[in-house]
Amino acid sequence: MRIGFLALSLAAATAASSAQIPAPAAATAVKTSGYFSADYFQIRHPEGGWDRSFARGRGGVLFSGDWSANFGYALEFTLEAGGAASLEQAWAAVRASGAFEIRAGLYLVPFGRYNEARRPFQTKLIMDPFPVGVLYPPSWRDLGLVLTGRIGRLGYAGYLGNGLAEGESLADGQQFRDNNRSKAWGGRLSYILAENLEVGASYHQGMADDGDSRRRRTWGADLDWGSDAFRIVGEYAKAEIVNPGPFASGAAEGYFGMVSFRLGPLTPLASFQSLAYEDPFHGPGFRGPGGPGEGIVREEIRWAVGFVYPLHPSVLLKWEYDFPREKGAAVGRDVLRVQMAVRF
């Protein structure tokens, strides 16, 4: 299938270069956009009392544009308080039309909807919902090629990249240089069933370990239904990683659903999230094939309620109260979050 993907990309690139397409237009001016945000949170301890702190100061800047009708680019930087600046994406594109575009470089992996649209002004939730950041890294990126486009109601994206390395958990392993000889591949298909209803399906597969012998796979599905006045969104993912004997394979399953509606300028919301994760080989203390970790056993649900209020067309105030509950725990560590998000 990987050979087929490469052959398809080569054939499509050849066809694009030889097809009769409009003469290149003059380069457009660089489009600049960005955001910054900061959070305040309170965490309740099961035995009583609250921890309070301002946290997660972060920002990002995106530069994009077209050199001509058939060539474009995007470059995005992100920065978190106390951390170094990093590249979120950096790619150049060749396109024949809206139905066909090839990107090369650093890209956000097209798995589900949330991974490519989790900036503070793009999502109503403050905390990333399950399965984001558990079954795969938050802001999951990769280096390689992406073939993407839309044909009528059908949207598609297929990619070939370095993949994820093996780490303590499925959320670890973000890398920018391949740790084995195999390449990871996958993609997402989406279809507009009705004017306000779109569904999608995603898949990812690659070798995770340095020895190039243990496969990691992730499946996903997503839904977006409604309008600005009323909206239901959801995302589901299931992941597995092959472990060496005598350990059983690791597996995780997570999903979230969220409903929101407009009440004047206010947008109240409610979300339910679920996670089940078991892996006897990885976990804290994992050091590779010769150093198994303590294992991972997580079974959690999380309710979240909140609202979004626009202080200005470019300034959002977000409030969220999370009710996390682990299996067997009578009391959870409730969290109150407030976020100010600005875009420009």
pLDDT in tens, 94-111: 998 889 999 999 999 999
pLDDT at 288 over 90: no
- Supply the mean pLDDT for the chain: 91
Mean pLDDT of 189-206: 97
pTM of the model: 0.89
Tokens 């597996």 found at:
251
pLDDT at 198 over 70: yes
Split at pLDDT 50, 70, 90, the class of 4 is very low
User: For residues 215 and 164, what is the distance between their CA atoms, to the nearest angstrom?
Assistant: 11
pLDDT, position 330: 66
Token pair in block for residue 44: 């309740």
pLDDT of residue 318: 98
Mean per-residue pLDDT for 294-321? Answer: 97
User: Average pLDDT, stretch 157-175?
Assistant: 96
The pLDDT score that the predictor gives to residue 178 is 96
Domains and CATH numbers, the chain: 2-18+33-343 (2.40.160.10)
Exposure string for 71-106, b = 16+ CB within 10 A, e = fewer? ebbbbbbbeeeeeeeeebbbbebbbbeeebbbbebb
Residue 19 has a pLDDT of: 33
Give per-residue pLDDT as tens, 209-246. Answer: 999 999 999 999 999 999 989 999 999 999 999 999 89
At residue 10, the pLDDT reads: 32
**What are the CB-based long-range contacts (under 8 Å, 24+) for 213-221?**
214/166, 214/241, 214/242, 214/243, 214/244, 215/241, 215/242, 216/163, 216/164, 216/166, 216/170, 216/240, 216/241, 216/242, 217/241, 218/111, 218/135, 218/136, 218/186, 220/111, 220/112, 220/131, 220/188
User: What's the pLDDT score for residue 242?
Assistant: 96
Task: State the average pLDDT over residues 303-307.
Answer: 98
DSSP letters of 76-110? EEEEETTS--EEEEEEEEEEEETTEEEEEEEEE--
31-47: pLDDT as tens digits: 999 999 999 999 988 77
Instruction: Name which of 9-13, 62-66, 265-269, 336-340 the model is least confident about.
Output: 9-13
Over residues 283-302, the mean pLDDT reads 93
pLDDT of residue 27: 61
